[in-house]
Structure 1
């Protein structure tokens, strides 16, 4: 059951017309605006290279919403080895790429809503069909984000996240 009626924000008290079911981060944590002029650095909506030494792809940490069919997602960046990044690029537009083995990586996005740092959590990036971002599977630890991915979150938690994202402290 989707919560299409919006929500009353716990931070500002206003009614927001829509309850977002996901947020996306524009760049990996270590990206800096000065890299825009560096010829060995590039940032697109799906891939990032920094100084020809650090390689990232953007994917989705998907979290089931309990009591409905909705899925909440975090659009995050994962660092890959040079070889795995090269392979991901090689098959980026290839039909059937979802048959690829998952790529090991490190989460390179800090989600400040969590009490523990999310940067450098171990991940597996699962390639999906062309046009779909990879599914980012977190190592099954006791980190709150990993627990949420495994067990799901309530609509109250989705509203809590929305309030925190819309009105950062």
Structure 2
């Protein structure tokens, strides 16, 4: 039987497992390890507060796959207003919370594969049922991330992303 799992990396020439269909960032771009000692700052896998005045939530920014079932997903951080963050926390364990209207937020994650910064792209945060991270929708602009979310990507695109993230020293960010 022919092994269909995996691919030959275009950067290093090695055989890798099939690339992941999701990547998650551990913290908003504004977080630093020094903040862990600040009583007014906190980072959990889903929520972040910096100095008691900047609020973030992690969600999934999904991109449809054009040549396979499902989607590719970035686990990204988005800033929320204090009021919307408070509402999010208030409804955290409440069934039916997905009926909330979308919240406005600024993308607070740098995704180095798009050639232009992704920090501060305008987003809408769609609350989903309890236990499911919010869906992040980027404002429809001509930014490559926004275009990808609207039009989709191929499994070849997923492999290119994996190669960039597996071998950043060989694949510097565009413009560097």
Alignment TM-score > 0.5, same fold: yes
Does residue 126 of the first structure (1) align with residue 129 of the second (2)?
no
| Counterparts of 2:135 and 2:8, CA distance in 1 | 31
Q: Give the match's secondary structure for 1:136.
A: strand
**Alignment correspondent of 1:45:** 45
Gaps of at least 5 residues in structure 2 are 170-176
Report the count of equivalent residues.
166
| Counterparts of 1:132 and 1:13, CA distance in 2 | 37
TM-score by length of 1: 0.96
Deviation of residue 113 (structure 1)? 1.0
Gaps of at least 5 residues in structure 1 are none
| Counterparts of 1:71 and 1:16, CA distance in 2 | 20
**Alignment correspondent of 1:90:** 90
Deviation of residue 100 (structure 1)? 0.5
Kindly report the root-mean-square deviation, in angstroms, between the aligned alpha carbons of the 2 structures: 0.9
Q: Pick the structure with greater CA Rg.
A: 2
**Alignment correspondent of 2:172:** none
Q: Give the match's secondary structure for 2:66.
A: coil
Cα displacement string for residues 126-162 of structure 1 (whole angstroms, at most 9, x for unaligned residues): 0001111000000000000000000000111000001
| Counterparts of 1:164 and 1:100, CA distance in 2 | 37
1:3-152 paired onto structure 2 within 5 Å: 5-152=5-152
Q: Give the match's secondary structure for 1:147.
A: helix
Q: Give the match's secondary structure for 2:86.
A: helix
| Counterparts of 1:38 and 1:154, CA distance in 2 | 43
